[in-house]
């Protein structure tokens, strides 16, 4: 093999060793027999060079290094320079031979000195050691450093070397910009570096500066200041900041305003990460779990520093935006025509549907901050006569946008955007419409950004409140009036809260309205790490929980049975139960005092006699007023009585293994309608038997679970901790500690094993027992998993009594977990396909157990979910039976607790989508998804209770 000295002397090659072909924008020099795939890919993707010929040297194993002379022979002698790139086993030889080729061809040669890194849209970045980059070789002159990036942006010299910004921070150049991040988690940083290198475009005039890294410690603002002070004024103007991870900022302050105040100058921020090509890219928000989210309509936001430290922050200027729909006329800056009586305005948070004349609360709406988790759609409700019309148009616009983005919108009336609220995401509760709060005082004028008005109105910190509509996360809407201007406390995404005594009916979760065949995923959908989950054969014998506080009087803990219409012709249908809601949502302040809340599941108190259930009202009679409401007006004087309780010797192990028969005896509340063979409608659960999250939190439930599971908890926690470390998004959001999240995740994994069947049985029957605290922790754990939007399915064979109970019924509520699949499973028996259109069911892949208990493509609806029965066709002959249901949200239920008949279009869309899914599945061979030990977890119809084994008719 020839040495470098031989190469520079002319080499040892023969004519014909190398041939040339033009591929894309480059001239490829390669072996006569083949071109390598690496060379073809590089040549096809690289950006054309206006000043130099692009030459790719394909140095595969078939070409000896001495073939350089042959390469020089096939290159033409021209005045244009050569940009030389080598690929193959010896791709570092380009820089060594650059000077020789320059002298040999009498042409300028630009070659990489360092590792060649391919960036987004054909950009080439040279980076490996100090001083690495593109080097310019000229005949008769010494080599000179040329650039770091190709194509070379005007800000290239501002970001060339990796350097420390503090003992824990680092300033790292990227092909498309600069990244300032913490260095204490190198594996996490390496994963995100790969994404940013591949996706972040290198813009010629704009330098993207990303701050922080998801899954690492928050970045100090001192690191940002040190980087900023080294920039010259021109490059400071070209900088666009992106909050990519957590930043140490003052509480309640926005990212952009914090930077503007700290740097004492105007700054421009992207609301997310640019991805794509330099001339045609889009912005994607950064979710709390580090996954890139939705593309906002606002593209650049300008912030000006406060004139005085005590001054109010000014609303950021929207410096760049994209239109909401194609071919929509822009009648004013950022304002688009949508209907004869309405326009759509692009704001920071999303879109605002309003009349053509600007309402008085315009600046407050424009100051609503962006939510990285999803699209925010706001409709004007300042004029009561137009509110319904504005909402209708907003729903129509949301349907069109959701279809294109595959992601639901959150719909808000403008009146609930209350200044002074702490920013939050699309989480728990809905708000009823509140009166318009007074407008905020005008702000002093601020310095202008180039090409935009100088005035930036001053507003208070405005948060995205809880969605009234189209939320992808379960929520509970109050029926009590919301005081005007009351601040809203936003919770982490959790299940609906536990019912307590009040007159308000429980309403279902509020999903996005328009069904689309898509899902919302969390990072890393790879399967979980292997874990030895508990088995039914060797389960821990758990001690009973400690005694709890006394319960409220019996009349506050026995809600009426859930009413149901007797026929489809009854309109409108009554919504499910008048279950009390006094402390259900922290987002709503209620004048009704909440009753005392017991410890988990009211366990451990002295054994008591369970009263026989009273006969409930018929399905066509509306429920009586809540006893809690009467006690508020007349004053309840009855002394507290202990609730029905389990014997102290009953353990969690016994309950979660096979509690169905015992649960049927221990259930409390009125007896619901039942079928001839024992199937019955689920009873309305009391607060002590409910899996919904209590207002007082889960501290007692978590402590009890840890203590009860003992060593088994430690064993499961080890594998769950490993999964959490691989998926940092599981720890995001809310005020829960890492320890709390670990307990909830262990409870979720335990529920996903075969023991979960016992938890389901206890919840369906309305029993009070150890399954309740375990289920509540599982609800909290499931709420942190990604949600699924689309068709879900199981196959089963309903009995005559189950068809009887579903016949003529329009609404069912399931107080247990409803387990479904996202596609059919081979070998699952049944003559009927049960399909549910999901908006909030949780994907369980991250925490699935191993072995025969594992279920692929499982999704779980949280307790308290309401389902609307769209179709129920019994099997006949060779035709399979079908039951089509749709998960419905709180926005579909009016103040009287009745289902909104105007949402029939949503039913039609759901039916169409479900039938398309059936057709699609019919043409494909299903695969086995359910492990043998979990086969019994599927097939129960939502809202019904199965009879205990051996007790049927």
Nearest to 379 by CA among 17, 891, 884: 891
At 28 the pLDDT is 92
At 31 the pLDDT is 83
Query: By the 8 A CB rule, do 363 and 438 touch?
Result: no
Could you give the CA distance from residue 429 to residue 497 in angstroms, rounded to a whole number?
Answer: 9
At 732 the pLDDT is 58
What is the distance, to the nearest Å, from the Cα of residue 60 to the centroid of all Cα atoms in its chain? 45
At 75 the pLDDT is 85
pLDDT at residue 551 greater than cutoff 80: no
Residues 171-193, mean pLDDT to the nearest whole number: 96
pLDDT at residue 5 greater than cutoff 60: no
| Residue 644, number of CB atoms within 10 A of its CB | 22
Find the angle CA(515)-CA(475)-CA(664) to the nearest 5 degrees. 100
At 947 the pLDDT is 73
pLDDT at residue 7 greater than cutoff 80: no
pLDDT over 90 percentage in the chain: 42
At 593 the pLDDT is 36
In a 13 Å sphere around the CA of 908, the CA atoms on its Cβ side amount to 5
Q: What is the mean pLDDT of the chain?
A: 74
Least confident of 201-210, 250-259, 438-447: 438-447
Residues 634-643, mean pLDDT to the nearest whole number: 37
Coil/strand/helix, residue 310:
coil
What is the distance, to the nearest Å, from the Cα of residue 371 to the centroid of all Cα atoms in its chain? 11
Least confident of 280-289, 535-544, 861-870: 535-544
| Residue 188, number of CB atoms within 10 A of its CB | 19
Could you give the CA distance from residue 451 to residue 136 in angstroms, rounded to a whole number?
Answer: 39
E strand segments, 200-349: 207-211, 239-243, 267-269, 273-277, 280-284, 298-303, 317-321, 330-332, 335-339, 342-346
E strand segments, 816-857: 818-821, 832-843
Residues 52-70, mean pLDDT to the nearest whole number: 76
Least confident of 272-276, 440-444, 487-491, 797-801: 487-491
Confidence category of residue 373, pLDDT binned at 50, 70, 90: confident
Confidence category of residue 906, pLDDT binned at 50, 70, 90: confident
Q: What is the biggest distance separating any 2 CA atoms in the chain, rounded to whole angstroms?
A: 108
Summarize pLDDT for 692-706 with one digit per residue, the tens: 998 888 999 999 998
pLDDT at residue 866 greater than cutoff 80: yes
Could you give the CA distance from residue 757 to residue 659 in angstroms, rounded to a whole number?
Answer: 9
Could you give the CA distance from residue 312 to residue 838 in angstroms, rounded to a whole number?
Answer: 43
In a 13 Å sphere around the CA of 204, the CA atoms on its Cβ side amount to 3
At 897 the pLDDT is 60
Lookup result for tokens 């009146």? 415
Find the angle CA(72)-CA(74)-CA(76) to the nearest 5 degrees. 85
What is the DSSP secondary structure assignment for residue 615, as one 8-state letter? B
Residues 113-136, mean pLDDT to the nearest whole number: 93
Strand-by-strand arrangement of the 177-182 sheet:
163-164, 169-174, 177-182, 207-211, 239-243, 267-269, 298-303, 317-321
At 87 the pLDDT is 85
Could you give the CA distance from residue 95 to residue 134 in angstroms, rounded to a whole number?
Answer: 9
Better-predicted residue by pLDDT, 653 or 697: 697
Query: By the 8 A CB rule, do 864 and 779 touch?
Result: no
The dihedral sign for the CA sequence 780, 782, 783, 784 = positive
DSSP secondary structure, 906-922, as one string: HHHHHHHHHHHHHHHHH
At 708 the pLDDT is 85
Could you give the CA distance from residue 244 to residue 351 in angstroms, rounded to a whole number?
Answer: 23
Instruction: List Cβ neighbours of 194 (8 Å cut-off, separation of 6 or more).
Output: none
At 523 the pLDDT is 35
Confidence category of residue 79, pLDDT binned at 50, 70, 90: confident
Summarize pLDDT for 203-243 with one digit per residue, the tens: 999 999 999 999 999 999 999 999 999 999 999 999 999 99
Summarize pLDDT for 261-309 with one digit per residue, the tens: 999 999 999 999 999 999 889 999 998 888 899 999 999 999 999 988 8
Say if pTM beats, i.e. exceeds, 0.75: no
- Pairing status of strand 375-379 against strand 350-354: parallel
Residues 524-543, mean pLDDT to the nearest whole number: 37
Lookup result for tokens 């300028």? 108
Query: By the 8 A CB rule, do 558 and 631 touch?
Result: no
Could you give the CA distance from residue 61 to residue 282 in angstroms, rounded to a whole number?
Answer: 40
Better-predicted residue by pLDDT, 630 or 944: 944
The dihedral sign for the CA sequence 292, 296, 302, 304 = negative
Nearest to 114 by CA among 101, 100, 99, 96: 96
pLDDT at residue 489 greater than cutoff 80: no
Backbone angles phi and psi of 506, in degrees to 5 = -70, 135
At 900 the pLDDT is 67
E strand segments, 201-332: 207-211, 239-243, 267-269, 273-277, 280-284, 298-303, 317-321, 330-332
> Measured between alpha carbons, how far apart are the two ends of the chain, in Å?
88
């Amino acid at each position: 093999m020839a040495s470098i000295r031989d190469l520079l002397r002319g080499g040892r090659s023969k004519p014909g060793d190398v041939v040339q072909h033009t591929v894309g924008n480059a001239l490829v020099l390669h072996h006569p027999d083949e071109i390598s795939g690496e060379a073809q890919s590089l040549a096809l993707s690289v950006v054309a060079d206006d000043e130099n010929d692009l030459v790719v040297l394909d140095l595969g194993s078939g070409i000896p290094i001495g073939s350089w002379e042959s390469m020089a022979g096939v290159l033409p002698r021209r005045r244009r320079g050569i940009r030389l790139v080598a690929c193959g086993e010896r791709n570092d030889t380009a820089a060594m031979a650059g000077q020789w080729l320059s002298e040999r061809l009498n042409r300028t040669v630009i070659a990489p000195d360092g590792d060649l890194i391919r960036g987004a849209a054909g950009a080439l970045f040279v980076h490996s050691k100090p001083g690495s980059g593109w080097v310019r070789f000229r005949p008769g002159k010494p080599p000179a450093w040329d650039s770091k990036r190709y194509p070379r942006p005007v800000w290239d010299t501002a970001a060339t070397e990796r350097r420390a910004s503090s003992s824990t921070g680092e300033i790292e150049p990227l092909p498309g910009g600069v990244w300032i991040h913490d260095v204490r988690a190198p594996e996490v940083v390496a994963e995100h570096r790969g994404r940013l290198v591949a996706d972040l475009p290198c813009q010629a005039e704009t330098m993207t500066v990303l701050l922080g890294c998801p899954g690492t410690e928050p970045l100090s603002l001192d690191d940002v200041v040190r980087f900023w002070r080294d920039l010259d004024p021109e490059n400071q103007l070209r900088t666009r900041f992106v909050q990519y991870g957590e930043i140490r900022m003052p509480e309640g302050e926005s990212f952009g305003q914090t930077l503007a105040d700290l740097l004492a100058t105007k700054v421009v921020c992207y609301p997310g990460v640019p991805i794509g090509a330099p001339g045609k890219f889009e912005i994607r928000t950064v979710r709390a779990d580090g996954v890139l989210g939705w593309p906002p309509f606002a593209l650049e936001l300008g912030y000006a520093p406060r004139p005085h430290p005590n001054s109010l922050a000014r609303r950021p200027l929207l410096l760049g935006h994209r239109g909401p729909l194609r071919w929509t006329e822009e009648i004013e800056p950022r304002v688009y025509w949508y209907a004869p009586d309405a326009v759509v305005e692009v704001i920071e948070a999303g879109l605002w549907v309003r009349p053509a004349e600007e309402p008085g609360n315009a600046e407050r709406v424009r100051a609503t901050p962006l939510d990285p988790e999803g699209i925010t759609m706001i409709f004007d409700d300042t004029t009561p006569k137009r509110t319904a019309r504005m909402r209708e148009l907003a729903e129509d616009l949301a349907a069109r946008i959701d279809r294109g983005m595959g992601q639901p919108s959150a719909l808000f009336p403008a009146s609930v955007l209350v200044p002074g609220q702490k920013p939050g995401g699309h989480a728990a509760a809905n708000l009823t419409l509140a009166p318009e709060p007074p407008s905020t005082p005008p702000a002093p004028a601020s310095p202008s950004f180039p090409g935009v008005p100088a005035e930036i109105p001053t507003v208070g910190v405005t948060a995205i409140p809880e969605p009234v509509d189209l939320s992808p996360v379960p929520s509970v809407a109050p029926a009590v009036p919301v005081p005007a201007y009351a601040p809203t406390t936003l919770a982490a995404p959790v299940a609906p809260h536990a019912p307590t005594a009040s007159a308000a009916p429980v309403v279902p979760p509020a999903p996005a309205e328009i069904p689309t065949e898509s899902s919302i995923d969390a990072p890393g959908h790879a399967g979980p790490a292997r874990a030895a989950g508990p088995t039914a054969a060797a389960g821990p014998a758990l001690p009973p929980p400690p005694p709890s506080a006394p319960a409220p009087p019996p009349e506050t803990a026995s809600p009426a049975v859930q009413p149901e219409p007797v026929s489809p012709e009854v309109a409108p249908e009554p919504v499910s139960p008048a279950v009390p809601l006094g402390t259900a949502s922290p987002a709503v302040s209620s004048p009704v005092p909440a009753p005392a809340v017991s410890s988990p599941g009211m366990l451990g108190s002295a054994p008591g006699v369970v009263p026989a259930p009273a006969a409930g009202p018929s399905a066509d009679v509306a429920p009586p007023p809540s006893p809690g409401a009467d006690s508020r007006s007349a004053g309840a004087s009855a002394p507290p009585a202990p609730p029905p309780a389990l014997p102290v010797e009953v353990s969690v192990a016994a309950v979660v293994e096979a509690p169905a028969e015992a649960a049927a005896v221990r259930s409390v509340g009125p007896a619901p309608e039942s079928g001839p063979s024992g199937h019955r409608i689920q009873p309305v659960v009391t607060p002590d038997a409910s899996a919904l999250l209590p207002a007082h939190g889960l501290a007692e439930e978590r402590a009890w679970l840890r203590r009860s599971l003992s060593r088994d908890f430690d064993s499961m926690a080890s594998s769950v901790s490993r999964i959490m470390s691989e998926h940092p998004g599981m720890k995001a959001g809310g005020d829960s500690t890492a320890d709390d999240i670990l307990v909830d995740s262990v409870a979720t994994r335990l529920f996903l094993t075969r023991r979960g069947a016992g938890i389901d049985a206890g919840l369906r029957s309305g029993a009070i027992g150890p399954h309740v605290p375990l289920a509540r922790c599982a609800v909290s754990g499931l709420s942190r998993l990604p949600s699924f939007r689309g068709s879900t399915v199981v196959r089963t064979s309903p009995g005559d009594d189950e068809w009887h109970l579903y016949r003529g019924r329009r609404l069912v509520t399931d107080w247990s977990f409803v387990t479904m699949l996202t596609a059919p499973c081979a070998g699952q028996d049944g003559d009927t396909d049960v399909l549910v259109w999901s908006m909030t069911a949780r994907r369980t892949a991250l925490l699935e157990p191993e072995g025969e208990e594992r279920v692929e493509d499982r999704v779980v609806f949280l307790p308290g979910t309401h389902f609307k029965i769209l179709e129920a066709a019994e099997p006949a002959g060779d035709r399979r039976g079908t039951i089509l249901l749709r998960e419905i949200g709180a926005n579909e239920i009016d103040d009287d607790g009745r289902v909104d008949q105007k949402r029939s279009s949503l039913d039609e869309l759901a039916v169409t989508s479900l039938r398309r899914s059936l057709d699609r599945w019919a043409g494909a061979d299903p695969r086995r998804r359910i492990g043998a030990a979990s086969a019994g977890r599927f097939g129960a119809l939502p809202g019904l209770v199965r009879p205990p084994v051996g007790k049927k008719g």
